[in-house]
Amino acid sequence: MTEVSIEAVKEFFIDLQERIVGTFEELDGSATFLRESHESPNGGFAQPRVLTDGAVFEKAAVQFSYSVGDRLPPAATERLPSLTNKPFQATAISVIVHPRNPKVPTTHLNLRMFLVDAQEETWFFGGGFDLTPYIPFEDDIKFWHEQAREVCRNDDHYLELKQNCDQYFYLPHRGETRGVGGIFFDDFNNGEFIDCFKFVQAIGERFLNAYSTIVNRRAHLEWTSEEEEWMLLRRGRYAEFNLAIDRGTKYGMQSGRRIESVLASLPPRVNWRYRHELLVSEKLANLTSKLQPGIDWLGIVDNSVDKS
């Protein structure tokens, strides 16, 4: 398999989806995913898997899609504008988890591949994973970034993808990142297809392992109603990002895609309270000091070659 194969990527995504769903059902121990399939007339198909009202996961969406289109939307690529409006195939897996326990962080994974039928057939990958804690544990944040570092080639590669993540998941109106980040990349096709695909596979595997580890560490901890209220308020930030800022959600809403799939990422319960800082304790509000771009979680910035 040294040739470019979207079939192989589809197979991997479908298998990864099945394993994530299985692992999450085991972790939850109570609820199961609703399993659906939707086919498009042109050969595309989607497999949403959504869990609602679990013991550990209040909502988890693990979605696979394969689509075939006549015109690559401009939103699909920034670096390769010459490809827009060409026929294409795309396949993606996306995961969003809203846990019940505010000590378990929310997480998000997205992996996608595009194959574009241009003068020369062109492919590229995109995706990444990020973490959004409510009650932050520094151990978990460092562990998460260690995992991110390990899937990358070296420190500089990690720092570049981490910076992408901090920049993309940023709420300017709040002056905050959405969470404590991770990695994020777009228009990725450096080198051989097989090496890029291996990188994407490694991200998927690492994600499942890393997030499961954190859930196992924290899901059994008690929480207070004040902490839960804090989580519901912080979920408001998540909804603000997804509805007002996220390019993928915007594109999904405007393009007439199945709206339940597009908005499956929204938190199950959200509170918006006017001037909530009047009500939550400083200890919890200290989370926001961790929600800034460029925090050197692994203490490696000084070791890296590129300090620009």
Q: Does 285 bind a copy of itself (CB under 8 A)?
A: no
Which of 8, 75, 118, 270 touches a copy of itself by CB under 8 A? 270
Q: Which member of 55, 202, 221, 259 binds a copy of itself (CB under 8 A)?
A: 259
Q: Distance between CA 271 and CA 273 in Å, rounded?
A: 6
- Interface residue with a copy of itself among 8, 263, 280, 300 (CB under 8 A) is 263
Check binding of 37 to a copy of itself (CB under 8 A).
Answer: no
Nearest to 8 by CA among 228, 236, 193, 259: 193
| 173 contributes a contact to a copy of itself by CB under 8 A | yes
Binding flag, residue 61, a copy of itself (CB under 8 A): yes
CA gap 85, 164 in Å, rounded = 26
Q: Which of 44, 73, 248, 268 binds a copy of itself (CB under 8 A)?
A: 268
- Out of 142, 206, 250, 290, the only residue in the binding site for a copy of itself (CB under 8 A) is 250
Give whichever of 68 and 263 is closer to a copy of itself, judged by the CB atom.
263
The stretch near a copy of itself (CB under 8 A) out of 148-156, 196-204, 254-262, 284-292 is 254-262
From residue 285, alpha-carbon distances to 103, 116, 148, 218, 279 in Å are 14, 46, 26, 20, 10
Do residues 98 and 106 touch, judged by C-beta distance below 8 A?
A: yes
Query: Could you say which of 3, 37, 191, 275 contacts a copy of itself (CB under 8 A)?
Result: 275
Q: How many residues bind a copy of itself (CB under 8 A)?
A: 34
Q: Binder to a copy of itself among 154, 224, 254, 303 (CB under 8 A)?
A: 254
Residue 280 within binding range of a copy of itself, rule CB under 8 A: no
- Per the structure block, which two tokens stand in for 104? 């378990």
Which residues, at least 6 apart from 123, have a Cβ–Cβ distance to it below 8 Å? 4, 6, 113, 114, 115, 116, 189, 193
Is the four-CA dihedral 161, 128, 271, 250 of positive or negative sign? Answer: positive
Phi, then psi, of 16 in degrees rounded to 5: -60, -40
Q: Alpha-carbon distance 123 to 69, whole Å?
A: 15
Q: Are strands 106-116 and 122-132 parallel, antiparallel or unpaired?
A: antiparallel
Considering only the stretches 101-109, 144-152, 261-269, 280-288, report the one whose residues sit in contact with a copy of itself under the rule CB under 8 A. 261-269
Minimum gap (Å) between residue 100 Cβ and a copy of itself: 14
Annotated catalytic residues are 108
Give the footprint of a copy of itself on this chain (CB under 8 A): 34, 50, 52, 59, 61, 172-174, 232, 236, 239-240, 243-244, 249-250, 253-254, 256, 259-260, 262-264, 266-275
